Amino acid sequence: MVHRNSDGTAVIGVNALHTPSRQRFTIAHELGHLLLHENQDLHVDEAFPIGLRSRVSGLAVDEREIEANQFAAELLMPTDLISEDVDLLRDRGVDVDDAIAKLSQRYRVSSEAMTIRLSALKLIKL
């Protein structure tokens, strides 16, 4: 969740039960909302505006959620760095599954997030 204060500050909350890599992606995603969607409609709870993750959040159908996910992916897995690392791993003959595992560890993201990122950048084919 993200809470915007009237003074311009914000608080991002993450699920303590999620893995550190999931928490990092959530924080990056919420930063995307804060920077890209200043006037985003927020859920109001006891007069506090709070943006909560919903069933729609992960479906890739809401433009704002897609943008926040793209922001998080670029922040955590920058295109230029990922491309260079993929080229190095290819030169070393590392297979796709091992490359995903190595890159996930290097960038501290989940294998799923790395797979999606590599596919979106057309660096691997699913």
pLDDT tens digits along 53-112: 555 555 567 898 999 999 999 999 999 999 999 999 999 999 999 999 999 999 999 999
Distance, in Å, from the CA atom of 25 to the CA atom of 17, rounded to the nearest integer, reads 14
**pTM of the entire structure?**
0.80
pLDDT tens digits along 27-53: 999 999 999 987 654 433 333 344 445
Instruction: Output the furthest CA–CA distance in the chain (Å, rounded).
Output: 56
Three-class SS of residue 45?
strand
